[in-house]
Structure 1
Amino acid sequence: MTTHPPQSARPGQGLTVADAMESCDYQIADDSPVDRANDIFHSAHVEYLLVRDHDGRCEGLVTRSGLHPFLTRSWYTERTAISATAHQRGPFAWPAMGLALAAVTMRVKHLAVWPVVDEDGFGLGVLTADHAAGLLAAGSA
């Protein structure tokens, strides 16, 4: 017979993605060209952008390093839409998801950043692996 400690004794058990998510102020439409994303990366000094579809729902996440192959050919970047690139797509985290589960999922999928969406698929923010690990470690101390 296996026994488990009470819920309150499990480290980080009560934390959710909502406790750890950060806002993501920079988004781009999936039909925007790669060079537009590059402009945002350079002007805003960010490493990732949320990608939204024509309805405004979160479609994925694109990183500066993920677009690097497209940026070496300038004529190509003007004609290539973000939707045609290989970028992170769903499923995504949701606010009520347990933070420990989200951290394990991110580790298994090798994700440094994971979009957080509401029940309708609209982007609410992002969860970073570093922030999640920090909160879980603080909760276990």
Structure 2
Amino acid sequence: MTTCPPQSVRPGHGLTVADAMDPCDYRIADDRTVDQADDMLRGADTEYLLVCDHDGRCEGLVTRTGLHPFLARSWYTERTAISATAHQRGPFAWPTMGLALAALAMRIKHLAVWPVVDEDGYILGVLTADRATGLLAVAPAQ
């Protein structure tokens, strides 16, 4: 069996997730309802909310698209907690992760947005596929 060294597998741009991540202003607790999440998404005019547990650690990310099945039934939105929905869950990106590796992982997982957490699971920001791809396109390979 032949293996390739990591340098030949991914470009060596030297950029990390920390270089490309954006702050995330919109969060919701995992015990909040789908109805509350929908209100926040509409009010903030955003496509996603980061989901946090009772300790403030990142549990995942919920999108408008992910809430559609629950919003079709009005009585369901008032009773269903975000934790019970099928939303994007970990593993998450970390700030020291190579940006090329993160972009590859996002392509494989079909993610447009990926939460970035510290070693304790607290949210530091988000990485978007567009930003990662854009930075890698203009960064010189090392």
Same fold, judged at TM 0.5 (above): yes
Tell me the number of residue pairs that the alignment of Structure 1 and Structure 2 aligns.
136
1:1-141 paired onto structure 2 within 5 Å: 13-140=13-140
Identity of aligned residues (%): 78
Unaligned runs of 5+ in 1: none
Paired residue type of 1:25: D
Q: State how far apart, in whole Å, the 2-side matches of 1:78 and 1:49 are.
A: 18
Normalising by structure 2, what TM-score? 0.90
Cα deviation for residue 140 of structure 1 reads 3.6
Paired residue type of 2:21: M
Task: Give RMSD over aligned pairs.
Answer: 2.0
Normalising by structure 1, what TM-score? 0.91
Q: State how far apart, in whole Å, the 2-side matches of 1:42 and 1:17 are.
A: 28
1:27-52 CA-to-partner distances (Å, cap 9, x unmatched) read 00001000000000111000000000
Q: State how far apart, in whole Å, the 2-side matches of 1:75 and 1:52 are.
A: 24
Unaligned runs of 5+ in 2: none
CA contact (8 A) 1:29 1:53 kept: yes
What stretches of structure 1 move > 6 A for 4+ residues in a row?
none
